[in-house]
Amino acid sequence: MIQPAITRADITAARARIAGDVRRTPLMRIAGHQLGIDCAELWLKLEHLQVGGSFKARGMFNRMRSNPVPAAGVVIASGGNAGIAVACAARAMGVRCEVFVPEAASQAKRDKLVELGAVLTVTGAGYADALAASLARQAETGALLMHAYDQREVVIGAGTLAAEVEEDAGVPDRVLVSVGGGGLIAGVASWFQDRCWIDALEPELAPTLYRAREAGEPVDVDVSGIAADSLGARRIGSIAWELTQRYVDAAHLLSDAAIREAQLAMWKALRLAAEPAAAVPLAALQAGVVAPRSEERVLLVVCGANVDLASLRV
């Protein structure tokens, strides 16, 4: 099914709708050589400082502010970050929240969900299993269904971070975005469109968009590895598939070792406590998988901070 285009006007309207709910996160601008990258500047959009610790709050608040929430509240399946964002939004709005997570979800994320007051159910080995359980629950209760990445309001909400970047610094030359189900890159690409080069980045062990581009259509893939709790969707979302076909210039895969190295580099060099998914853009640069021109200004979306801090000790 052809999805309607998401416009910058849609994203601008969402910014106004959720302005009182989310944070305008900082944009860190540093010379590329400070992280050993041959480019003019690195722009780090610090979405790990967002409400709930990830960019997901933008889409979840936009979905809930755009629709009536029934007495049964909201329900979602999530590897962790989307569930945390929904739980934050539900608490702020005073509504009930149920979250279904797979066994791959980290204990840190499970603990956070409980702390936020969500009714937590752990079920199945992967996200697809949790999604099936959440759909069954929604049919039973009539709760507002929230999707981690494949809902129009969620994608539009994600795009608001790109609008902030442009307002703060202009349009970058290149944008590097981690991909799981694709909501983040779909939103960011919908804002920048064809005004800059956009790279989609995934772990080798969770190549959702990469395999879809190879096949020419969304396909199921096996997912595992260091970033599976955030980037563990088995199939690219339908909205993200169509939008990335329009606007994303290239897709690349990164090893778990490269992602881990970048995660530690962000902590040691910048004191940014980021989860593996948030380190994937820097990993692409450090590993030479993406090689910007020396004059380029490169945007890296630091998408989440729900990390076990003990894992940053070396």
pLDDT band at 12 (very low <50, low <70, confident <90, very high): very high
What does the pLDDT look like over 221-247, one tens digit per residue? 988 887 776 777 889 999 999 999 999
Question: What value, to the nearest 5°, has the Cα angle with vertex 178 and ends 102 and 44?
Answer: 125
Assess whether pLDDT exceeds 80 at residue 2: no
Measure the CA–CA gap between 264 and 272, rounded to whole angstroms.
9
Measure the CA–CA gap between 176 and 182, rounded to whole angstroms.
13
Cβ proximity of 179 and 204 under 8 Å: no
What does the pLDDT look like over 99-115, one tens digit per residue? 999 887 878 788 889 99
Sign of CA dihedral 113, 119, 124, 129: negative
Assess whether pLDDT exceeds 70 at residue 1: no
Going along the chain from its start, the domains and CATH numbers come out as 8-54+159-312 (3.40.50.1100), 56-146 (3.40.50.1100)
CA distances from 255 to 194, 242, 252 (A): 28, 26, 10
pTM for this structure? 0.93
- Closest to 148 (Cα-Cα) out of 229, 51, 209, 70: 229
Assess whether pLDDT exceeds 90 at residue 65: yes
> Poorest-confidence range of 131-145, 167-181, 216-230?
216-230
> Poorest-confidence range of 86-95, 248-257, 304-313?
304-313
Cβ proximity of 60 and 132 under 8 Å: no
> What mean pLDDT is reported for the chain?
93
Measure the CA–CA gap between 100 and 125, rounded to whole angstroms.
12
pLDDT band at 309 (very low <50, low <70, confident <90, very high): low
pLDDT of residue 233: 83
High-pLDDT (> 90) share of the chain, %: 83
pLDDT of residue 308: 66
Output the CA torsion 34→175→47→43 (10° steps): 30
